[in-house]
Amino acid sequence: MKVLKTVDEVKKLSNQWKKEGKTVGLVPTMGYLHEGHMSLIERCRKENDKVIVSIFVNPAQFGENEDLDAYPKDFEKDKALCEKAGADLIFNPDTSEMYSNPRTYVNIDGLSDYLCGKSRPIHFRGVCTVVSKLFIITKPDNAYFGQKDAQQLAIIKKMVKDLNFDVNIVGCPIVREEDGLATSSRNVYLNAKERKAALCLSKAITAGKLLANSETDADKVKNEMIKIIEAEPLAKIDYVEIVDNETMQPVSEIKDNTLAAMAVYIGKARLLDNFIKEGKN
C-alpha cells in the first residue's frame, strides 16, 4: 500500500492504472476511521481492481465555531486499518496541496438548503468542492459513501449527474455499534453518560421505522421520533424531518423512498441518524 501526499503523484498513478485497464474505486474520508469506513473500503475492495482511500480533514466544509481544530485524528491507526481492508493507496494531502488561494467552489442549490444545510450553511459547498477535486484527481470508476450522511449522498449523486462526472456513486448501509448507535468519528466526543444518552437516536429510528410500516402520516411518525428524543435530558434536537430522499423536500405522506433524518446534539457531539422507507421489489 502506498501513501501519497501530492495531487500530481496520485494523478500519475491513477492514469497508470487506467492505462493498464484497471478499475479504480475511491472511498473519501476525513480519517479517524471506524467500522462504517471499513465497510466502505471492504466493499470497494470487492468491486474494483484498485482501491484509493482519501484521508483529508476538509476545512472548507466547517463553519465558524465548528469542530475543525478538535476533529479527531490518528493517521497511524487509519493507515493500519486501510492496509488491513486491502487499500492500494492512501491519498493524504496537506491543506495547502488541496487549496491554493481558492476562488472556485461547487454548490448544489436546493438540495443543500435544508436539514444539515440549513444549520451548516457552507457545509455542502465545501463537501461538493472537495469531492469534485477528488474525482478529478483520482479518476475513480466507483466512489463509496455511507447512508448515514443521507443528504450528502443525495447531493453528490445530483452533482455527478448535473456535472457529467464519469463515476458511479455507491451508497452503503449504516453500520451500527452493538447497542444500535450509528458509527461516527464524533462518537469519541461522548463521555460514558453521554454515550448512553446517545442511544435515543437509534431508539427513535427503530420506533419511527416500525410506525412507518403502518402509518403514512409523516407528522405522526416525526412526532413519535421527537417524543423519544425529547425524553432524554442530554439531547438537544437540531432537526428531525421527513423528506423525499432525492429532493430533500418535506413530505406530508410517507411512501417509497421517503427519508426520516435527524441531527441531535449530545453534549458537544452533533450526531446523525436516519432510515429510508423503501418499496417492495
Express each pLDDT in 122-144 by its tens digit.
999 999 999 999 999 999 999 99
pLDDT higher than threshold 50 for residue 281:
no
Look at 217 and 64; give whichever has higher pLDDT.
Answer: 217
The predicted structure's pLDDT at residue 153: 98
Question: Helix H segments across 91-217?
Answer: 95-98, 116-119, 123-138, 150-162, 192-197, 199-212
The predicted structure's pLDDT at residue 65: 85
CB atoms under 10 Å from CB of 188, counted, come to: 12
pLDDT higher than threshold 70 for residue 188:
yes
Q: What is the mean pLDDT of residues 20-24?
A: 98
The predicted structure's pLDDT at residue 10: 98
CB 52 within 8 A of CB 86: no
Average pLDDT, whole number, for the chain? Answer: 96
Please name the residue that has the C-alpha cell 457531539. 269
Give the separation between CA 269 and CA 278, rounded to whole angstroms.
29
Q: What is the mean pLDDT of residues 57-76?
A: 95
Percent of the chain residues past pLDDT 90, beyond the cut: 96
Q: How confident is the model at residue 280 (pLDDT cuts 50, 70, 90)?
A: low
Express each pLDDT in 72-119 by its tens digit.
999 999 999 999 999 999 999 999 999 988 899 999 998 999 999 999
Q: How confident is the model at residue 258 (pLDDT cuts 50, 70, 90)?
A: very high
Is 37 considered catalytic here? yes
Instruction: Specify the 3-state DSSP secondary structure of 236.
Output: strand
| Candidate list 37, 120, 158, 270, residue with the active-site label | 37
The predicted structure's pLDDT at residue 204: 98
Q: How confident is the model at residue 184 (pLDDT cuts 50, 70, 90)?
A: very high
Q: What is the mean pLDDT of residues 145-151?
A: 97
Instruction: Specify the 3-state DSSP secondary structure of 238.
Output: strand
The predicted structure's pLDDT at residue 278: 80
The predicted structure's pLDDT at residue 276: 97
Torsion of CA 123, 68, 143, 154, to 10 degrees: -20
The predicted structure's pLDDT at residue 135: 98
Express each pLDDT in 224-250 by its tens digit.
999 999 999 999 999 999 999 999 999
